[in-house]
C-alpha cells in the first residue's frame, strides 16, 4: 500500500496487526508545492509528496503512539509492536480514556481541482507578472506562493471513520524600495479566486504611501488595526487564553472571568468552522465533529476550546479541537477564529479619528504575560499617522507592549468588512478594529 | 538505497549543471510526563529523498517519501521541471562557490545509545522528577525527553559521497506555581524544553534532574510571591541560558548572509548587518567575540558536513567587537567571492538547505562570576528565557526572563518576577564590559529555531558564560 486513498483498507490492515487492543489512527497525505521569490527572482522552488500515519494504541488507560511515513506491512507491523510494548510499561492515565463513538459530519473541506492541478510554471508566470509590475515603480518583490492538496483520515477501533480532502492556496508578498515597503497575504482553497492584478495594486497603493517615515514617541495611542494585524493578535490570544487545558489548570484569564461582561457589546469572537469565509476541516484529530464554540459573546467571556483528553480528564465537553498526539500536552487551540463584523466602513473609522495610528501588520509577536494576555511585537510594512481624520504620514516602526484584554475593552469601532487571513490552524476571519488603548513602548530606526 | 540514488544522479548528470540527492531517515523518541503521569509517548520513523537541481541557471527541488527507483525518477523529473519554471524570472545564472569533492563518513561520538535505554527507565526518571516538584503552590509540573537518530546520505554531481549518523538527546522539566490570577514557571536546565546536545543518554544523566527538582519548585513558589522587577536603566548580568537566546536572536540571525541579501525579507525579515558593514562595523565591545563552530564536541549544531556537503568548520562572525563574517551557503558565499563556511542545513529530506546557525558561541572572558557581579553596585541578574521579540532587521529587541535577582553592592539579593529588558542590538553589545570565564561556559542546545517557507525547524546551539551589560532598560511585564 502506497497511499491512504483506500481508507477502509488501511484501517482494516491496522486492525489486523493490533488485534485485541483499542486504537486510534490519523493518516494524512498530500502534495505541497511552494514557489519563493526575493529580489524579484524565484530563488527557492520546491515540491513535496509525503504521507504520515500515526497509530495510537490504548491498553487499559495506557497509551503509546507511533508515527511513520511509509505504510508497507513491515513498517506498520514493526511500529505497532513498539506502541503495544509501551502500553505495557507506561503508567496509567489518571482518568479513564474513552474512545469516541462513530460520528456524522456536517461540513467538508473546500476542494478545487484547479488548485490541485496548478503547476510550477503556472505559479512562476503569476510571480513573473507581479515582479514586472512592481519593478516598473522601482520596487523589488519577495514572497511565497504555495498550492497544496491534502487528504486526512481519522479512525478508531470503535468505528469512527472520518475522511476528507482539501486544497489550499497560500500567498504572501512584501515589496520594497529602500525603506518603503508593503505587504499582503492571500489564503483560499480555490486558485480561481486569486487575483494577481488586485494584489499588485494593493501592494503598490500601500508602498507608495509608506515613504519618508517620521519618528513618533512611544506612548498610549488610538490605533486602527488591519484584519491581518487583528488576526495575529487574536491567534496569540486564542492559544494562550482560550485553550481549555490552560483554563482548567488556572493559567488563563478566562478561568476568573467566565460569564463576566468585560468587553463592549460589539465584541463577539468564536471558533466557527461554519463561517463561509473560513476554510474548515470537518473533524478534529480523534474524529470529533468540528462545531461552533463561542469564546466571547456580546462582550461576555464564555469558555475556551477543549480537546478530547482534556475534556475526559476534567469532565468537560470536547469542542472538536483535538490536536495530533505529539501536541497532546499542549491542550487545544481554536481552529477557525471568527470575529463578528461591526457596522463601520474603514473610511469612517479613519475619518472619525482625530489622532491615531494605522497598523498594517505586526512582526515577531510574542506573549509577555499569559494571564493578562500582554503581548509584544513590532509594527512592519506600513504604519501610518492619522490626524484629523486623514492618513497624513508614514511613521517608523514601533514596539508595542499591550494587553489584549485592555485593548479589546477600548474597542469603539469595528468594520463591516472582514477578511480571511492566515491563522494558527485554519485561517481567521477578522475585521478592522479601532481601539483607544494601545501601548507602544519603544521605537526602531526604520 | 545508495544504488538507486546513484542511478538517479547518473540520469540527471547530463541534464543539469549541478544536482545533489539527500536520503534522510530519522528515528525519534519523545516522552512527556505531567504531574507524575505519562501524558505522551511517541516513537516516529521518517524517511525520504530530496533532489535539488540547478538547470537553466535556476534551482528546482522535489522530494518524496516513495523510495522505489521509478518514483524517485519521477521526483527527479519534477525537480527539473521546477528549475525550468524558476528560470522564467532569473536575473543571472546561479553559481556556487567552489567546494572540494568529499567522500567520508561521520558518526556522532556517544557513550550511551539513547535508543538502547529501556523506555521504562526514562519514563521513571521523569515521573519521579515531576512528582518531586509538586510542592506548595506548584500545581503543575512537566518533564520531557527527546532522542533522535538521523542517518543521512548525500551525493552530488561533483562527486561528493557522504554518510552521516547524528545522535541527539535532550530534555528538561518545569514547575508551575499557580495562584489567584497569576502563575509563575521555573524551568531546568533551560526553558522551552530544556537543554539538548549531539550526545547520548549520558547527557540526560549529567543533567541531575532529581537533584534539581526541589530547588526548581521552590523557586517557582518564590516567584509567585515575588514583586515585579523594577523599571529603569540599570546594569545587568545575563545568565548563560538567557545569553544563549540573546546571541541567537541578535547575532546568529542577523549574521545569516541570505537575510543580508534580502532572501528572507518577506517572512523572517532582513538584517542590519548589510554587506557594506562586513569588516567595517563595530558590532560590540572588544570583549565580544562570537564564532560559528560546527565542530564543538556535543553541540546541538555539530555535524561532519552540512547539507551541501561542506565540512563543518569554525569561523569568526564578530572578532573583538568587529563584524567580520557571515554564516554562508555555497550560493551566497559565491556572491561575496568567498568559500562556504558550512552553514547550509536542511531540516529533513523534504526541505532545501538554507543558511542556518550551527553552534554560535560567545567566547568566554576571564572573569570569575563573583567578580562580574561584584563590580555592580545596583543591578539585576537575569536568566532563563520567557519571552522574545525582535524587529525584522534584528535591531530593536525585547526579552523577558523567568527569574531576576537583585544585585546590590556586588551581592545577589531578592527575587523579582516578570522581568523584561529592551535594547538596540549594537548598542547593547557595546555595553558589554565583562564575560565570565571558561569555567562557567556551556553550550546550550536550542531545538526549535524557525526559518523559511515552508517552515524549517533547526537544531542549533550557543556556547555562553554569564556576561555583564551596563545601563540597560529594564522593567516588568504587566
Per-residue pLDDT of chain B (478 residues; tens, 9 = 90+): 999 999 999 999 999 999 999 999 999 999 999 999 998 899 999 999 999 999 999 999 999 999 999 999 999 999 999 999 999 999 999 999 999 999 999 999 999 999 999 999 999 999 999 999 999 999 999 999 999 999 999 999 999 999 999 999 999 999 999 998 999 999 999 999 999 999 999 999 999 999 999 999 999 999 999 999 999 999 999 999 999 999 999 999 999 999 999 999 999 999 999 999 999 999 999 999 999 999 999 999 999 999 999 999 999 999 999 999 999 999 999 999 999 999 999 999 999 999 999 999 999 999 999 999 999 999 999 999 999 999 999 999 999 999 999 999 999 999 999 999 999 999 999 999 999 999 999 999 999 999 999 999 999 999 999 999 999 999 999 9
Q: Which residues pair with A79 in a beta bridge?
A: none
Contacts of B55 in chain A (CB under 8 A): none
- A251: pLDDT strictly greater than 70: yes
Report all structural domains of chain A as residue ranges with CATH numbers, in order of start: 7-209 (3.30.2290.10), 219-443 (no CATH)
Contacts of B61 in chain A (CB under 8 A): 44-47
Contact across the interface for B59 and A45, Cβ inside 8 Å: yes
Class of the CATH domain delimited by B2-225:
alpha beta
- Ordered DSSP codes for B336-385: TT----S-EE-SSTTS--EE---BEEE---SB-HHHHHHT-SEEEEEEEE
d(CA B92, CA B320): 37
Measured between CA atoms, the residue of chain A closest to residue B352 is A46
Contact across the interface for B389 and A445, Cβ inside 8 Å: no
Contact across the interface for B389 and A378, Cβ inside 8 Å: yes
For B429, phi then psi, to 5°, come to: -70, -25
Whether B340 contacts B354, CB under 8 Å: no
Measured between CA atoms, the residue of chain B closest to residue A56 is B42
Distances in Å between the Cα of B118 and the Cα atoms of A293, B30, B36, B347 are 43, 13, 18, 28
Measured between CA atoms, the residue of chain A closest to residue B30 is A326
ipTM of the complex: 0.94
CA distance B367 to chain A (A): 32
Whether A409 contacts A175, CB under 8 Å: no
Position A1 scores a pLDDT of: 64
Burial grade of B129 (CB within 10 A; 0-12, 13-18, 19 or more): buried
Going by the DSSP 8-state scheme, the letter that residue B248 receives in this structure is I
Whether A341 contacts A417, CB under 8 Å: yes
Whether A222 contacts A436, CB under 8 Å: yes
- A424: pLDDT strictly greater than 90: no
Contact across the interface for B266 and A38, Cβ inside 8 Å: yes
Over range A164-189, report the average pLDDT. Answer: 96
CA distance A352 to chain B (A): 31
Q: Which pLDDT band holds residue A5 (cuts at 50, 70, 90)?
A: confident
d(CA B38, CA A310): 14
When CB atoms are compared, the residue of A79, A82, A144 closest to B267 is A144
CA distance B5 to chain A (A): 17
When CB atoms are compared, the residue of B30, B140, B262 closest to A249 is B140
Distances in Å between the Cα of B176 and the Cα atoms of B50, B123, B359 are 42, 20, 30
Residue ranges per structural domain of chain B: 2-225, 232-476
CA distance B69 to chain A (A): 14
- CB of B352 within 8 Å of a chain A CB? The answer is yes
Position A89 scores a pLDDT of: 86
Contacts of B31 in chain A (CB under 8 A): none
- CB of B147 within 8 Å of a chain A CB? The answer is no
Q: Which of B36, B31, B85 is nearest to B61 (CA)?
A: B85
- CB of B119 within 8 Å of a chain A CB? The answer is yes
| Grid cell 510526563 in the structure block, residue | B33
Report the first-to-last Cα separation within chain A, whole angstroms: 55
Contact across the interface for A70 and B65, Cβ inside 8 Å: yes
Measured between CA atoms, the residue of chain B closest to residue A52 is B46
Whether B31 contacts B122, CB under 8 Å: yes
Can you tell me whether residue A22 is helix, strand or coil?
strand
Position A330 scores a pLDDT of: 92
Strand segments, DSSP code E, in A157-179 are 161-177
- CB of B267 within 8 Å of a chain A CB? The answer is yes
Per-residue pLDDT reduced to its tens digit, B71-103: 999 999 999 999 999 999 999 999 999 999 999
Whether A410 contacts A435, CB under 8 Å: yes
Q: Which residues pair with A57 in a beta bridge?
A: A23, A64
> Which residues 52-91 in chain B show a CB within 8 A of chain A?
58-67, 75, 78-79, 81-86, 88-91
Measured between CA atoms, the residue of chain B closest to residue A38 is B263
A298: left (phi over 0), alpha (psi -120 to 50) or beta: left
Average pLDDT, chain A: 95
Measured between CA atoms, the residue of chain B closest to residue A184 is B266
Contacts of B123 in chain A (CB under 8 A): 89-91
Q: Which pLDDT band holds residue A90 (cuts at 50, 70, 90)?
A: confident
Contact across the interface for A378 and B477, Cβ inside 8 Å: no
C-alpha cell at B277: 558593514
Amino acid at each position: 500500500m502506497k497511499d491512504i486513498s483506500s481508507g477502509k483498507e488501511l484501517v482494516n490492515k491496522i486492525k489486523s496487526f493490533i488485534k485485541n487492543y483499542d486504537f486510534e489512527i490519523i493518516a494524512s497525505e498530500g502534495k505541497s508545492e511552494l514557489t519563493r521569490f526575493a529580489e524579484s527572482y524565484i530563488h527557492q522552488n520546491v515540491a513535496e509528496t509525503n504521507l504520515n500515519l500515526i497509530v495510537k494504541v490504548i491498553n487499559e488507560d495506557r497509551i503509546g503512539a507511533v508515527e511513520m511515513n511509509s505504510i508497507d506491512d513491515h513498517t506498520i507491523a514493526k511500529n505497532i509492536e513498539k506502541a503495544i510494548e509501551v502500553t505495557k510499561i507506561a503508567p496509567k492515565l489518571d482518568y479513564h480514556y474513552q474512545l469516541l463513538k462513530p460520528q456524522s459530519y456536517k461540513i467538508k473541506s473546500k476542494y478545487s481541482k484547479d488548485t490541485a492541478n496548478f503547476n510550477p510554471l503556472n505559479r512562476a508566470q503569476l510571480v513573473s507578472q507581479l515582479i514586472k509590475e512592481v519593478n516598473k515603480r522601482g520596487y523589488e518583490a519577495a514572497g511565497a506562493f504555495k498550492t497544496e492538496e491534502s487528504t486526512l483520515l481519522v479512525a478508531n477501533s470503535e468505528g469512527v471513520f472520518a475522511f476528507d480532502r482539501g486544497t489550499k492556496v497560500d500567498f504572501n508578498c512584501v515589496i520594497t524600495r529602500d525603506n518603503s515597503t508593503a505587504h499582503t497575504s492571500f489564503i483560499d482553497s480555490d486558485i480561481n479566486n486569486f487575483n494577481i492584478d488586485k494584489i499588485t495594486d494593493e501592494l503598490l497603493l500601500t508602498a507608495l504611501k509608506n515613504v519618508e517615515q517620521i519618528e513618533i514617541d512611544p506612548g498610549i495611542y488610538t490605533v486602527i488595526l488591519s484584519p491581518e494585524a487583528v488576526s495575529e493578535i487574536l491567534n496569540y490570544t486564542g492559544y494562550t487564553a482560550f485553550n481549555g487545558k490552560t483554563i482548567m489548570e488556572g493559567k488563563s484569564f478566562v478561568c476568573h472571568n467566565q460569564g463576566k461582561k468585560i468587553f463592549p457589546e460589539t465584541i463577539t469572537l468564536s471558533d466557527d468552522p461554519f463561517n463561509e469565509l473560513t476554510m474548515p476541516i470537518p473533524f478534529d484529530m480523534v474524529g470529533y465533529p468540528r462545531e461552533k464554540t463561542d469564546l466571547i459573546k456580546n462582550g461576555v467571556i464564555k469558555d475556551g476550546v477543549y480537546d478530547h483528553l482534556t475534556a475526559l480528564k476534567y469532565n468537560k465537553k470536547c469542542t472538536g479541537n483535538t490536536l495530533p498526539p505529539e501536541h497532546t500536552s499542549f491542550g487545544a487551540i481554536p481552529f477557525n477564529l471568527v470575529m463578528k463584523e461591526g457596522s463601520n466602513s474603514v473610511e469612517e473609522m479613519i475619518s472619525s479619528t482625530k489622532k491615531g495610528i494605522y497598523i498594517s501588520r505586526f512582526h515577531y509577536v510574542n506573549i509577555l504575560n499569559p494571564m493578562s494576555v500582554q503581548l509584544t511585537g513590532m509594527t512592519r510594512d506600513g504604519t501610518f499617522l492619522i490626524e484629523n481624520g486623514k492618513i497624513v504620514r508614514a511613521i517608523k516602526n514601533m514596539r508595542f507592549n499591550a494587553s489584549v484584554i485592555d485593548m479589546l475593552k477600548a474597542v469603539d469601532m469595528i468594520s463591516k468588512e472582514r477578511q480571511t487571513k492566515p491563522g494558527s490552524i485554519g485561517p481567521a476571519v477578522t475585521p478592522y478594529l479601532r481601539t483607544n488603548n494601545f501601548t507602544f513602548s519603544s521605537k526602531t530606526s526604520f | 538505497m545508495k544504488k538507486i540514488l546513484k542511478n538517479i544522479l547518473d540520469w540527471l548528470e547530463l541534464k543539469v549543471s549541478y544536482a545533489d540527492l539527500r536520503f534522510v531517515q530519522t528515528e525519534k523518541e519523545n516522552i512527556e510526563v505531567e504531574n507524575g503521569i505519562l501524558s505522551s509517548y511517541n516513537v516516529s520513523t521518517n524517511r525520504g529523498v530530496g533532489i535539488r537541481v540547478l538547470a537553466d541557471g535556476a534551482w528546482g527541488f522535489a522530494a518524496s517519501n516513495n523510495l522505489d527507483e521509478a518514483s524517485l525518477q519521477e521526483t527527479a523529473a519534477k525537480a527539473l521541471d521546477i528549475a525550468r519554471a524558476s528560470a522564467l524570472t532569473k536575473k543571472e545564472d546561479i553559481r556556487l562557490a567552489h567546494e572540494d569533492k568529499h567522500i567520508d563518513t561521520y558518526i556522532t561520538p556517544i557513550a550511551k545509545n539513547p535508543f538502547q535505554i529501556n523506555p521504562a527507565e526514562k519514563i521513571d526518571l521523569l515521573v519521579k522528577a515531576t512528582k518531586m516538584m509538586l510542592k506548595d503552590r506548584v500545581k503543575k509540573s512537566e518533564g520531557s525527553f527527546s532522542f533522535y537518530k538521523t542517518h543521512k546520505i548525500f551525493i552530488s554531481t561533483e562527486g561528493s559521497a557522504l554518510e552521516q549518523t547524528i545522535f541527539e538527546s535532550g530534555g528538561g522539566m518545569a514547575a508551575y506555581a499557580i495562584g489567584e490570577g497569576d502563575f509563575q514557571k521555573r524551568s531546568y536546565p533551560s526553558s522551552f524544553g530544556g537543554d539538548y546536545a549531539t550526545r547520548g543518554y549520558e547527557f540526560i544523566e549529567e543533567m541531575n534532574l532529581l537533584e534539581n527538582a526541589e530547588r526548581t519548585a521552590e523557586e517557582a513558589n518564590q516567584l509567585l510571591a515575588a514583586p515585579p522587577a523594577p523599571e529603569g536603566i540599570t546594569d545587568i548580568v545575563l545568565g548563560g541560558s538567557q545569553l544563549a537566546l540573546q546571541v541567537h536572536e541578535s547575532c546568529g540571525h542577523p549574521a545569516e548572509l541570505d537575510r543580508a541579501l534580502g532572501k528572507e525579507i518577506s517572512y523572517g525579515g532582513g538584517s542590519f548587518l548589510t554587506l557594506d558593514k562586513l569588516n567595517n562595523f563595530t558590532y560590540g565591545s572588544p570583549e565580544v567575540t562570537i564564532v560559528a563552530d560546527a565542530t564543538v564536541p556535543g553541540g546541538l549544531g555539530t555535524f561532519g558536513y552540512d547539507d551541501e556537503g561542506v565540512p563543518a568548520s569554525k569561523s569568526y562572525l564578530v572578532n573583538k567587537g568587529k563584524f567580520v563574517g557571515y554564516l554562508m551557503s555555497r550560493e551566497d558565499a559565491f556572491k561575496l567571492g568567498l568559500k562556504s563556511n558550512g552553514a547550509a542545513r536542511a531540516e529533513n529530506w523534504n526541505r532545501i538547505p538554507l543558511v542556518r546557525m550551527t553552534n554560535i558561541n560567545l567566547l568566554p572572558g576571564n572573569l570569575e562570576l563573583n567578580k562580574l557581579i561584584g563590580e555592580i553596585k545596583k543591578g539585576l541578574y537575569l536568566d532563563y528565557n520567557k519571552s522574545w521579540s525582535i524587529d525584522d532587521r534584528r535591531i530593536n529587541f525585547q526579552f523577558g526572563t523567568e527569574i531576576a535577582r537583585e544585585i546590590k553592592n556586588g551581592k545577589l539579593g531578592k527575587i523579582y518576577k516578570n522581568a523584561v529588558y529592551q535594547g538596540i542590538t549594537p548598542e547593547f553589545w557595546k555595553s558589554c564590559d565583562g564575560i565570565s570565564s571558561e569555567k562557567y561556559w556551556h553550550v546550550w542546545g536550542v531545538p526549535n529555531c524557525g526559518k523559511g517557507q515552508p517552515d524549517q525547524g533547526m537544531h542549533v546551539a550557543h556556547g555562553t558564560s554569564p556576561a555583564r551589560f551596563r545601563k540597560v532598560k529594564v522593567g516588568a511585564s504587566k
